[in-house]
Amino acid sequence: MGLTAESTLLVASLGRATNAALIEAARLVDGRIPAVEVRLDALLEAPDLPALREAFRGRTLLATLRSRDEGGRFGGTEAAAAALLGAALDAGFDLVDVELARAGEGLFGFPGERVVVSAHDVAGLPDDLEERSARMLGTCARYVKVVAMTRGLDDALRALRLQASGERGRFAAFGMGEAGLVTRVLSPYLGAALSFGAALPGEATAPGQLLAADLLDVYAVGRPRRVDGLFALLGSRVSHSFSPAIHNAVFESLSSGALYVPVALESLREELPRLREALAGLGVPLRGASVTIPFKEEASALAGGPAGSVANTLLFGTDGAVTGANTDRDALLGAIPRAPESGAALVLGAGGLARAAVEALRDRGWSVDVAARSPERAAALAAACGVRAISNPAASGLPYGVIVNATPLGLDASDPLPCDAALLSSGVLAVDAPYRPGGTAFSHEAIRRGARLVDGFTLLLSQAVGQSALFTGRQADAATLAARLPARIRSLFEVNP
């Protein structure tokens, strides 16, 4: 039958400094999201509770006064907290968040059916997490919410097991931070009563909080979709990725029972077996994965690939077999033309994607130079692929016809260019692997100087074509994949220099 997150109440969390700003935001919050949490602790003025209730008319409205001890800004007394939350109930708020540590099992005397009793640990998962959860479930609160900072995969798996063992329809347990992303996605499928997401882009109220609209559109939280298996994005940094949006759009269009989730790891070799075992035990076996920085060489080794090879895709058979593939190389081959006579190309970086770029360029007949922040790694890659490593591309004197940015530089807005800007001259084909909404510094400079650009989102879609075929057995093209994305997500990747 599979698991579903249809019964989870999706809550858009909103924290702004003034009543006017909160009331303005009421018009901007996605109308499909049934509930809104107003973080009263974020206000820098006294809350106008009746006006806030009126602004969010038609939605379930939750008042939260998160204390400093639990990651918020409220530093008042227990009596002050009780008075303000009580006033919110009197003003017509449907629910109030009551911290167990402040109110105890008495919940300030509020009617239980209007209370979310909560505990947030910003230091990490406490040793008594399970006992604390049982104590909270013993109160009369309508909902029980347990949240902690997750410091790694084992913390995330512990939170998921706790959710699976909790009271369905009443209990919600998940983690904060990068490692907690997978819990925010999967807890609803394991029976979480509540799921919290940022009400608006760029306005997360907790570390690792996803956009509420993405929980709805990408992960089907609060929608009738059944899941019987998983695919995952495995890497050390996965929160920025739009791969879940692409692959989940494909899975849903095919009425597949698969869900694609982000999973942050510290070691692929050590943690992947534990991840697979845990997910199988939770009823959602891991069928395959996309692999990103820094695990592509490790992924190839796990799949039995030759030394030095890379894989960005893993498939897991029911018999325990692991097979690997590299769709990055195919995507790059599709972007790079055949070399003219004496054509020179430059690859920036020395990781798995850089190796795929070197191999693609070499296959297209280009003479390839490699430059990286680590000269040793650049030399090792060059030696393995039979190309040249250089330390200063700007001093090479070569008119590079293709420049591939295969570094992570560009994922953050503050990242510098990965090469001298003068190399990006008119007519150069600039291939930019990193991607971020609005484009990277490399993309902006390439456009400004008249270079021809293949941006990171285009590459992402191109490599996803191959992965999608491996995951589903169905062939699609990049335009089809892009068309299946929510328009809100497609619009993010218009490069604006």
Q: How far is CA 52 from CA 23, 27, 97, 264, in A?
A: 6, 12, 16, 37
18 in Cβ contact with 45 (< 8 Å): yes
Sign of the torsion formed by the C-alpha atoms of 139, 144, 147 and 152: positive
CA distances from 247 to 174, 315, 425 (A): 23, 15, 35
Alpha carbon 68 to its chain's center: 26
Cα torsion 452, 458, 462, 467: sign: positive
28 to 15, 201, 412, 489: CA distances (angstroms): 13, 10, 26, 16
Active site residues: 296
Residue 20's Cβ-side half-sphere holds a number of Cα atoms within 13 Å equal to 0
Specify which residues 388 forms β-bridges with: 369
Give kind and range of the element (H or E) at residue 289.
strand 286-291
Mention every residue, 6+ apart, whose C-beta is less than 8 A from residue 169: 7, 191, 193
**Alpha-carbon distance 209 to 197, whole Å?**
6
